[in-house]
Amino acid sequence: MGSNSWRLVVFGWEGGRWWALTDEIREAVRIGEGMGESGVLQPEPMERALHTAAVFASFLRSAGVEDTVAVATSAIRDAANRDELLRAIREHAGLQPRVIDGREEAWYGYLAIANSTTVADGFGLDLGGGSAQFMRLAGRKLADSESLRLGAVRISEAFLPGDRATGKQLKAVRKHVAEALGPLPWWSGGGRVAGIGGTIRNLAAASEKRSGYPDVDVGGYLLERDALEELIDELADTPVAKRGRIDGIKPDRGDVILGGALVVAAAMEVGGFDALEVSEAGLREGVFFERYLAEATPPLFGDVRRRSVENLGERYRTHPRHVDHVAKLSLELYDGLAAAGLRERDEGERDLLWAACILHDIGMAIDYDDHHKHSYYLILNSGLPGYSPRELMLIALIARYHRKGDPDAKPLGALEESGDGRRLEVLAGIIRLAEQFERSRDQVVAAVRLDSENGLVRLEAETGDGDPTVAIWAARRNADLLGRALEHEVEVVG
């Protein structure tokens, strides 16, 4: 129950295996609207809040959800008449809201960031409607945190009341944020910083669209300070009523998005950050992770990237032994190419190959025919916390070409970097061969040894129990892609 938006999210999960967001209702309640210096919740926002709580409660009953956690944040905890609202919600909707203080809110924001990004030593920013939570992470643990009244709604109402923002108003907001951060000496020195919250996601989405990036979620997107300043200039020059029409900005955030953008920009300037890494997670995920990872202290995934891949694979895959074995053979081929001097070993590239192997068959949940294309779609649209948009696209493309077709890096668009075309050909060529070695799904090809001499790459399949005829036959028929990528002839022997 945030100061701007109220969200009901439903998670499905199986302990130790997978979890997924299965439903969501969002309503721009704007409960903190008009509180001002009085600190009193106003009648109209309270009426909206009661109506929304009743809708949420009705949904929970209809959907059969038995385990519900309701948390209220900045605007409600600061309100002089909060008990009146909470009592009404309990009586009329049957929900039992828990008001969390600023440190608890920062804790849940930390859990969201630490379990959805790879920031281990760095900073976190959770920008809400009423408050902003600032965090410092050390060794993936929460080292420092503070909650300040710098939310997008609160700042917009206090400093940006008109239809158009003046230069004087913009400077006043930046000065106010800088002064508020002054007592936090640890918020400095630059480095990595991750951000969560609807305002930050909207700013990232708008920046992403201006950059010409493919249409993917903003998880892992780097919102650069220069790009944010350009967006602020555009927002300031646009009337309030039209800000919500800018690509990436939700209409109901149009009147507060500039205030939120200024808070983010000023915080980045004070902290010395050049870019903000965006996470799709939020406080609601933080609350969930506390439950889902209750056996860990603190409740964190051991490896965010690996767990996000395994999580998506568990949700869709139908033959775990097969995909694990394709991954094993693929990595043996990759390492063999590196040892033979045919490909420079790159741990990041190797990780992308592994991820694509684990996920290459998830499209079979839709249909066997064209399942490589279905896998591509599912990976792109499910997202992988801990990976950048470019890495996500590459993983999806490697999976897309594990079966057939000529790899094409064009879908990367503005994300494409030098060498990505050849990179995609090599990695797709590897996974395609590994898939054929495992064509019968019986692990008859236990391992693959690679050597290279006089322009010939020789792949020797070590076979175990069973008949390797199909595996050798299939691999020989699919060795041409890797051969073209390496500009070497590839020979497969049993």
Q: CA 489 → CA 406, 407, 459, 481, distances in Å?
A: 18, 19, 11, 10
What's at 126, amino acid-wise? D
305-493 has the same fold as 6-99: no
Residue 162 near residue 154 (C-beta atoms within 8 A): no
Q: Would you put residue 193 in left (φ > 0), alpha (ψ -120 to 50) or beta?
A: beta
Supply 141's token pair. 């643990």
> According to the model, what pLDDT value does residue 11 have?
95
> According to the model, what pLDDT value does residue 77 have?
96
The CATH homologous superfamily for domain 6-99 is ATPase, nucleotide binding domain (3.30.420.40)
Architecture of the domain defined by 305-493: Orthogonal Bundle (1.10)
> According to the model, what pLDDT value does residue 76 have?
97
Q: What is the CA radius of gyration of the chain?
A: 26
pLDDT beneath 50, residues of the chain: none
Task: Find all residues with CB under 8 Å of 228, minimum gap 6, and list them.
Answer: 203, 207, 261, 264, 265, 268, 276
> According to the model, what pLDDT value does residue 318 have?
74
Phi, psi angle pair for 223, to nearest 5°: -85, 100
Q: Where are the domains of the chain?
A: 6-99, 102-285, 305-493
Residues making up the chain, counted from first to last: 494
Residue 401 near residue 380 (C-beta atoms within 8 A): no
What span, in angstroms and rounded, lies between the C-alpha atoms of 152 and 198?
10
What span, in angstroms and rounded, lies between the C-alpha atoms of 206 and 47?
32
> According to the model, what pLDDT value does residue 465 have?
85
Q: Does domain 102-285 have CATH number 3.40.50.1820?
A: no
